[in-house]
Amino acid sequence: DSGVTQTPKHLITATGQRVTLRCSPRSGDLSVYWYQQSLDQGLQFLIQYYNGEERAKGNILERFSAQQFPDLHSELNLSSLELGDSALYFCASSVGSQGPNQPQHFGDGTRLSIL
Amino acid sequence: AQKITQTQPGMFVQEKEAVTLDCTYDTSDQSYGLFWYKQPSSGEMIFLIYQGSYDEQNATEGRYSLNFQKARKSANLVISASQLGDSAMYFCAMREVLSGAGSYQLTFGKGTKLSVIP
């Protein structure tokens, strides 16, 4: 158990809809990262939050947004969903400011299926 | 831009044997970190081992060791005494330092699927 909690584990929805994925980081971790894993693109970094502030952006679509709340949990919002958004979405956390040697610990992922 | 290359899409190893999974990387940074993660068929990503670019000793964690050859820009994972439970996808990743303190994203390779044969 990594200590990172993601809900829901599975999500099935239709094109054009909007969903919210939730992540609770490990206790004490200030950084939250979101990644998307798809068959064609592999594992790709989407966005990072550190202590409530956006810190870095990767290959995140404009239809996607995220935020980190004062209790450090994070939500990833996906809107106007397309078939190509079907993927496994991971949240990871790390201590963040303690230096780059800290590994990122991943949650079990949310598997999103668009019908 | 940084890049991670894993040239072995799939590998087979006999139970109790050792296996090496290859990873090469490309970076112009002097300070970087290399990670290996395991992804079983159930889907979760499990952190295995870390190597820093300034570490002189190769990292080891139990049956996992990292063969770090900085001049060759390679960071191969060695699994000793393979077990059936080692069957999984293995990903090599590099920490990319982005602007600002505390900004560290991981860039992943495409992975190697390891199958352990009884």
Smallest CA–CA distance, residue B93 to chain A, in Å, is 10
- Please tell me the predicted confidence (pLDDT) of residue B105: 80
Top-confidence residue, A99 or A20: A20
Q: pLDDT (tens digit, 9 = 90+) per residue, A45-102? A: 999 998 999 988 888 999 999 999 999 999 999 999 999 999 999 999 988 654 556 7
Nearest to B50 among A2, A97, A101 (CB): A101
Q: Is the pLDDT of residue B104 over 90?
A: no
Q: Residues of chain B with pLDDT > 70: what percent?
A: 92
Q: How far is CA B53 from CA A103, B1, B25, in A?
A: 14, 17, 12
For residues A115 and B2, what is the distance between their CA atoms, to the nearest angstrom?
Answer: 35
> Can you read off the two tokens belonging to residue A106?
């991943």
Return the structure tokens found at B3.
Answer: 């890049």
Interface check A25 vs B, CB under 8 A: no
- The pLDDT of residue A115 is 93
Bridge partners (DSSP) listed for residue B20: B78
Q: Nearest-CA distance from B60 to chain A in Å?
A: 15
pLDDT (0 to 100) of residue B98: 62
Kindly state the tokens that stand for B11.
Answer: 């590998």
- Write a three-state SS string for chain A: CCCCEEECCEEEECCCCCEEEEEECCCCCCEEEEEEEECCCEEEEEEEEECCEEEEECCCCCCEEEEECCCCCEEEEECCCCHHHCEEEEEEEECCCCCCCCCCEECCCEEEEEC
The lowest-confidence range among A98-102, B2-6, B62-66 is A98-102
Q: Residue A24 has which token pair?
A: 């609770």
Per CB-CB distance under 8 Å, the chain A contacts of B45 are 90, 92, 106, 109
DSSP letter string over B69-118?
ETTTTEEEEEE-S--GGG-EEEEEEEEEE-SSTT-EEEEE---EEEEEE-
Does residue B43 belong to the interface with chain A, where contact is any CB pair within 8 Å? yes
- Cα–Cα distances in angstroms (integers) from residue A98 to residues A7, A40, A102, A106, in the given order: 27, 34, 7, 18
Q: Across residues B86-92, what is the average pLDDT?
A: 98
Cα separation, A68 vs A66, whole angstroms: 7
- C-alpha distance across the termini of chain A, in Å: 31
CA B55/CA A9 separation, integer angstroms: 37
Residue B10 has pLDDT above 80, yes or no: yes
Q: What is the residue type of A19?
A: V
Chain A neighbors of B106, CB-CB under 8 A: 33, 35, 43, 45, 92, 104
Distances from the Cα of B84 to the Cα of A3, B17, B44, B76, angstroms: 25, 11, 17, 20
Distance of alpha carbon B115 from alpha carbon B36, whole angstroms: 17
Q: For residue A84, what pLDDT is reported?
A: 94
Query: What is the Rg, in whole angstroms, of the alpha carbon atoms belonging to chain A?
Result: 13
The predicted pLDDT at position B65 comes to 97
Q: Chain B neighbours among A 38-97 (CB < 8 Å)? A: 42-45, 48, 50, 55-56, 58, 88, 90, 92, 94, 96-97
Contacts of A104 in chain B (CB under 8 A): 35, 47, 104, 106
Q: Do B47 and A106 touch (CB under 8 A)?
A: yes
- Pick the more confident residue, B2 or B35: B35
> Is A101 in Cβ contact with B33 (below 8 Å)?
yes
Please name the residue of chain B whose CA is at the shortest distance from the CA of residue A58.
B105
Contact B75, B25 (CB under 8 A): yes
